[in-house]
């Protein structure tokens, strides 16, 4: 666990879980803007080593990985490392109304930000929401994860819904910065019924099974 300050909302009786989540999202997003380009690049390189060292990833033929926006833990080196090993990579594509869809990674030059603030997406043909069933491992973005496996995402419920198409028993790896791993015995993340627990947390400092 990191010694860097960790935002945690003060919860009063009657607060809606959704509001508590939103306050925490805002604090973590703000903290993420403070990281320099140099530190972001170093983190992305370290993350590639960490994630490729997870045994299930090392043995996978098809992995789903998010294409990071600038403030998220970077996945460029990870995508290149897995592609170089011949792993098939499924990246999120947002349909209208944020529909879940996937397309194959075809190199960094194929990734495009379709609108400001949106994640970069491949230009290759989309495969439908069911394509996630091909993935042996899902590497999902998160703003925070706790040691019971609860994941706080960007708030669209996109991954919670997308994961309904994953095969049973597929390993879900949530990626965060080190200070975004919360000790569930002290600071559990707010959790709702639909929230799907993750199996592993990976940061640029290392990975651990959770949940």
Ligand X SMILES: Nc1nc2c(c(=O)[nH]1)N(C=O)[C@@H](CNc1ccc(C(=O)N[C@@H](CCC(=O)O)C(=O)O)cc1)CN2
Ligand Y SMILES: Nc1ncnc2c1ncn2[C@@H]1O[C@H](COP(=O)(O)OP(=O)(O)OP(=O)(O)O)[C@@H](O)[C@H]1O
Bridge partners of 207, per DSSP, are 202
Residues 132-151 as b/e (b if ≥16 CB within 10 A, e otherwise) read: bebbbbbbbbbbbbbbbbbb
Distance separating alpha carbons of residues 159 and 127, to the nearest angstrom: 16
Distance separating alpha carbons of residues 78 and 65, to the nearest angstrom: 9
- Candidate segments 8-16, 33-41, 52-60, 110-118, binder of ligand X by CB under 6 A: 110-118
66 counts as binding ligand X under rule CB under 6 A: yes
66 counts as binding ligand Y under rule CB under 6 A: no
The two most distant CA atoms of the chain are separated, in Å, by: 52
In whole angstroms, the minimum distance from the beta carbon of 185 to ligand X comes to: 27
Distance separating alpha carbons of residues 202 and 206, to the nearest angstrom: 6
94 counts as binding ligand X under rule CB under 6 A: yes
25 annotated ligand-binding residue: yes
In whole angstroms, the minimum distance from the beta carbon of 63 to ligand Y comes to: 18
How many Cβ atoms are within 10 Å of 30's Cβ, its own excluded?
11
Count of positions (residues) in the chain: 211
151 annotated ligand-binding residue: yes
The CA angle 165-23-148, to the nearest 5 degrees, is 50
| Closer Cβ to ligand X, 55 or 194, answer by number | 194
In whole angstroms, the minimum distance from the beta carbon of 61 to ligand X comes to: 22
Question: Per-residue contact track with ligand Y, 139 to 178, x per CB under 6 A?
Answer: -------------xxxxxxxxxx-----------------
- Integer-rounded Cα Rg, in Å, for the chain is 16
Structure token pair of residue 5: 């300050």
Q: Can you tell me which of 73, 74, 77, 141 binds ligand X, judged by CB under 6 A?
A: 141
117 counts as binding ligand X under rule CB under 6 A: yes
- Candidate segments 49-57, 150-158, 174-182, 196-204, binder of ligand X by CB under 6 A: 150-158
Which residues contact ligand X by CB under 6 A?
66-69, 72, 92, 94, 98, 115, 117-119, 141, 153-154, 156, 158-159
Annotated binding site: 21-25, 72, 151-159
């Amino acid at each position: 666990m990191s010694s860097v300050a960790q935002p945690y909302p003060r919860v009063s009786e009657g607060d809606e879980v959704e509001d508590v989540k939103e306050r925490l999202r805002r604090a973590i997003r703000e903290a993420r803007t403070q990281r320099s380009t140099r530190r972001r690049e170093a983190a992305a390189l370290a993350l590639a080593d960490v994630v490729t060292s997870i045994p299930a990833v090392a043995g996978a033929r098809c992995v789903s990985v998010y294409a990071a926006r600038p403030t998220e833990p970077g996945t460029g080196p990870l995508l290149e490392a897995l592609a170089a090993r011949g792993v098939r990579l499924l990246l999120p594509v947002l349909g209208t109304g944020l529909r879940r869809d996937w397309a194959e990674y075809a190199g960094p030059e194929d990734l495009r930000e379709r609108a400001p603030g949106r994640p970069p997406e491949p230009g290759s043909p989309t495969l439908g929401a069911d394509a996630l069933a091909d993935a042996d491992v899902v590497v999902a973005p998160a703003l925070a994860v706790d040691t019971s496996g609860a994941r706080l995402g960007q708030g669209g419920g996109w991954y919670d819904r997308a994961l309904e198409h994953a095969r049973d028993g597929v390993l879900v790896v949530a990626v965060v910065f080190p200070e975004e791993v919360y000790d569930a015995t002290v600071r559990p993340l707010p959790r709702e019924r639909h929230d799907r627990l993750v199996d592993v947390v990976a940061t640029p400092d290392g990975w651990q099974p959770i949940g």
